Amino acid sequence: MLLIIKSRTLRETKLLRHMDHENENHKIEAVNCSDHLLCFGKIISNMKKLRWLSYESRGINNMKDVEGPNFLSNELRYFYWQWYSASPFLDGIPPMTLVVLKMSESWQKELWNGYKHLPHLKVLELEFMGNLLGIPDFGGLPCLKKLKLLCCSHLEEIHPSLGNHRSLENISVSTCSVLRVFPKIVRMEKLNNLEISDCNNYIELPEIQTKMGRLVNLTLEGSENEFPDSPIGECYTHLETVFYRPLKDIVQKLNFRSLRKLNLGGWGLKDGEIPSDFGELSNLEELDLSRNDFSHLDFSICHLTQLRLCLSNCKRLVELPELLSSVAILIVDFCDSLT
């Protein structure tokens, strides 16, 4: 049975009276609510067979003191909640079957108290969590595959246990402006996507102490990032996609044998700041240098016959080398100085 709540056409008291019937509660396996209901936590606490829950409160942001559910069904698989209260999530016994946990614009300073064991959780996404200060121990999430942290403006640290996680495949940490340190990567052999972007303060990038042969997409963008002194070139040998800022020693420090896509757009790169080693990236298929400030291209890519090269909006670009005729696709729109 699916319960959909789209508007307050049912008064909350009437809805509660309806949901208090035990027979009705046992029939409901999925709830999709897109309205602000003060009693919603109590409603959910009475659903013993709930497997799927999505709650969006239509931009209502005055729910800081509204209590969340005091019980969650032991059969719950999917949980999404917008504007969750300031009380810690999973304050009681956690649903052991939970697979997906997503929260947005919620009020907690910590996701939950202490150590929690969620043996089946695969996806953890926390977005616009302005009060969140830290992420709990990942040791209780052995099956986690995807971690996304977006716009958590007061997030100061990520628990060091993250670097020992062996099941993670996708990590995205974006626009967390006070985050200073990314945990040391000791394992993570299955990781294929790592993004650390737009964390505006200087952030120490992870020290790599393991082979990461499955990593194909690396995004280190929008911050004053520098690689640590550890020999990480040996660890990033199978990369296919890289977005990296700044450009210091990019080719020399990392051995991109399988690199296929490289995006360096919009960084204001000037003459002499583009590596001359692009010719060594023999598998390169896409190179984006759009929205930069160089006037000439001084590197050779004549042997990259399958290359798609984008130079859009390079306002100071005045000429192109003849060797560019070998590329498969060339995009040079809005280059105002090109003669």
Residue 34 within a domain: no
- C-alpha distances (whole Å) from 181 to each of 155, 201, 251 are 11, 10, 24
At residue 297, does pLDDT exceed 60?
Answer: yes
The owner of tokens 């969750």 is 84
Q: Which pair of tokens denotes residue 198? A: 């737009």
Does residue 305 lie within any of the structural domains? yes
Residue 277 lies in a domain: yes
Domain containing residue 308: 273-339
* Residue 56: pLDDT band with limits 50, 70, 90: confident
Q: Let me know if residue 174 belongs to a domain.
A: no
What's the rounded mean pLDDT across residues 144-160? 93
Residue 196 or 92, more confident = 196
226 in a domain, yes or no? no
Q: What is the pTM (predicted TM-score) of this model?
A: 0.77
Of 222, 218, 223, 221, give the one whose Cα is nearest residue 208: 218
**304 within domain boundaries:** yes
Residue 9 lies in a domain: no
Could you tell me if 106 and 79 are in contact, meaning their C-beta atoms sit under 8 angstroms apart?
no
Give φ, ψ of 102 to 5 degrees: -130, 135
Maximal CA-CA distance, the chain: 78
pLDDT average, residue stretch 78-87: 88
- pLDDT band at residue 9, thresholds of 50, 70 and 90? very low
Q: CA-to-CA distance for 260 and 22, rounded, in angstroms? A: 57
Instruction: Tally the domains of the chain.
Output: 1
Q: Are 143 and 167 in contact (CB under 8 A)?
A: yes
Mean pLDDT for 90-113 is 86
Structural domain includes residue 332 = yes
**pLDDT tens-digit readout, 220-264:** 665 545 555 544 555 666 666 665 544 444 444 445 555 677 777
Closest listed residue to residue 205, CA positions, set 241, 239, 164, 246: 246
pLDDT digits (tens, 9 = 90+) for 156-212: 889 999 999 999 999 999 999 888 878 888 888 888 888 888 776 566 667 777 777
pLDDT value at residue 235: 62
For residue 16, pLDDT over 60 is answered with no
